[in-house]
Amino acid sequence: MEFGIIGGGSWATALVKILADKKNKVHWWIRSEDNIRKIRETGYNPSYLKDAKLDTNYIDLSTDLAGIVKAADVLVVAVPSAYVESSLAVLSPDALAGKKVISAIKGLIPGKNILLNFYLQQQFGMKLENYFAVLGPCHAEEVAAEKLSYLTFSGVDYRAASEIASQFSTPYINTIVNHDILGVQYAAVLKNIYALGAGMAQGLGYGDNFLSVYIANAADEMASFLRRSGAEHIEVGVHDEDPYTHGKSVNYAASVYLGDLLVTCYSRFSRNRNFGRMIGEGKTVDETRHEMNMVAEGYHASKCIYALNQTVLAGIPIAETIYKILWEDVKAVDGFKRIERVLV
């Protein structure tokens, strides 16, 4: 099994490290020839995750995306959701035929407001049984430091998801498999929006007591949206025997749902939390985007979810208020006064 990684950022770099440490052959697409040269020379990505040592014996780097796609059996899409369309535009409509595709993005396609699997189905005829998602909680910085982290691989084909997951299992990565392919993706989108709000609360001067209430309500709001979107495993405290592992089945309190929400709201590594903090401190969206020089997925996701919820019709006043702060010029302090009134 040979892997193709599409993207050159922090998360893509972390995934390359995991796969190469497992001694998998990795074909890695990066836009910059200069970065490729430096990675070949030093074994480190000069632009992202600079402390992650990469075993270049197992890594083939190229700016030729079509060549990377052709060489790989399994493709991992790890570019920000806002750049998916432009990145994949060079591929022919049949380029993904016979391939398995793993989404490593945590957003919706802006303008279309759809998950990656629906976009790939429209553009490349991708069947859902050949599509998978890899999700955290798993900050790239902790992967670089080889701190124990958990990755969930989701797909409707449980056995194929398990086979793929096994290639990412290392002494510092534990893997979990489930088949809630839509639910885990929507959860990843929403948790980034709520992390923006957690950062805003910090920037506005709210304390830990408020933040705990905010996150508890965000978790409940997220569950409401997931239920209305057809997600599974939303109950807490209820477990059946997993038919494949014969262990405890996954539920909403598991890492890929509640766990990822918590770490993204609390961690100093969370770019969404840091983006929100700067907004809460009084910076504009443009100032924050320029200063971070990195993509916070929750920014575009807030607009996508707001639009999508006109159809889903879930009660998500927190997420809607975050959208209005970022996109409709509502002041953060006024938005959080509204949020205060809906928390229980």
Domain span at residue 59 reads 3-179
Q: Tell me, what's the pLDDT at 261?
A: 97
Do 228 and 142 share a domain, yes or no? no
Of 179, 213, 230, the domain-final residue: 179
Position 335 pLDDT exceeds 80: yes
Q: Are 74 and 100 in contact (CB under 8 A)?
A: yes
Do 75 and 224 share a domain, yes or no? no
Of 146, 164, 179, the domain-final residue: 179
Region 256-272: mean pLDDT is 94
Alpha-carbon distance of 279 to 261, in angstroms, equals 20
Return the number of other C-beta atoms located less than 10 Å from residue 244's C-beta: 14
Do 187 and 165 share a domain, yes or no? no
Do 134 and 204 share a domain, yes or no? no
Of 116, 149, 179, the domain-final residue: 179
Q: Tell me, what's the pLDDT at 292?
A: 85
Alpha-carbon distance of 285 to 97, in angstroms, equals 40
Structure token digits, residue 112: 């279309």
Do 190 and 244 share a domain, yes or no? yes
295: confidence class by pLDDT, cuts 50, 70, 90: confident
CATH number at residue 25: 3.40.50.720
Do 238 and 91 share a domain, yes or no? no
State pLDDT tens for residues 150-201: 999 999 999 999 999 999 999 999 999 999 999 999 999 999 999 999 999 9
For CA atoms 254, 255, 256, 257, give the dihedral sign: positive
Region 28-51: mean pLDDT is 95
State pLDDT tens for residues 77-103: 999 999 999 999 999 999 999 999 999
Do 187 and 174 share a domain, yes or no? no
Do 337 and 315 share a domain, yes or no? yes
User: Which of these ranges, 35-49, 198-212, 255-269, 283-297, has the smallest mean pLDDT?
Assistant: 283-297
242: confidence class by pLDDT, cuts 50, 70, 90: confident
Mean pLDDT across the chain, nearest whole number? 94
CATH number at residue 336: 1.10.1040.10
Structure token digits, residue 203: 């920037």
Position 245 pLDDT exceeds 90: no
Q: Tell me, what's the pLDDT at 60?
A: 97
Position 314 pLDDT exceeds 90: yes
Alpha-carbon distance of 302 to 213, in angstroms, equals 21
Q: Are 49 and 13 in contact (CB under 8 A)?
A: yes
Do 39 and 13 share a domain, yes or no? yes
Do 17 and 148 share a domain, yes or no? yes
Q: Tell me, what's the pLDDT at 79?
A: 95
Number of domains in the chain: 2
Structure token digits, residue 61: 């780097």
Angstrom distances, CA of residue 159 to CA of 150, 153, 220, 257: 19, 11, 31, 21
Do 24 and 166 share a domain, yes or no? yes
Do 126 and 263 share a domain, yes or no? no
Angstrom distances, CA of residue 81 to CA of 92, 116, 251: 20, 8, 27
